[in-house]
C-alpha cells in the first residue's frame, strides 16, 4: 500500500527530523545550537552544489 505523502513531503519531514536530532545531540553534549543554525548548514550545501 502506498502512503499519502509524496517524495518531496517525505524528504522535508526527514530533513526536519535530522535537524531536530542534530539540535538534541548538540545540546546533550553541551554545544549551543538551534534549528536555524543547523538549517544554514543545509542551505549552504544546496547553494554550494549549484555554483
pLDDT tens for residues 36-47? 998 888 778 777
- Count of Cβ atoms closer than 10 Å to residue 19 Cβ: 19
pLDDT tens for residues 13-38? 888 898 999 999 999 999 999 999 98
Is residue 5 very low, low, confident or very high in pLDDT (cuts 50, 70, 90)? low
The torsion region of residue 35 among left (phi > 0), alpha (psi -120 to 50) and beta comes to alpha
Q: Is the pTM of this model over 0.85?
A: no
Is residue 49 very low, low, confident or very high in pLDDT (cuts 50, 70, 90)? low
Instruction: Read off the C-alpha cell for 43.
Output: 542551505
Is residue 9 very low, low, confident or very high in pLDDT (cuts 50, 70, 90)? low
Report how far residue 12's alpha carbon sits from residue 39's, in angstroms, rounded to the nearest whole number: 12
Amino acid at each position: 500500500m502506498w502512503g499519502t505523502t509524496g517524495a518531496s513531503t517525505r524528504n522535508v519531514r526527514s530533513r526536519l527530523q535530522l535537524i531536530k536530532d542534530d539540535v538534541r545531540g548538540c545540546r546533550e553534549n553541551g554545544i549551543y545550537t538551534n534549528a536555524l543554525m543547523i538549517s544554514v548548514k543545509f542551505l549552504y550545501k544546496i547553494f554550494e552544489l549549484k555554483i
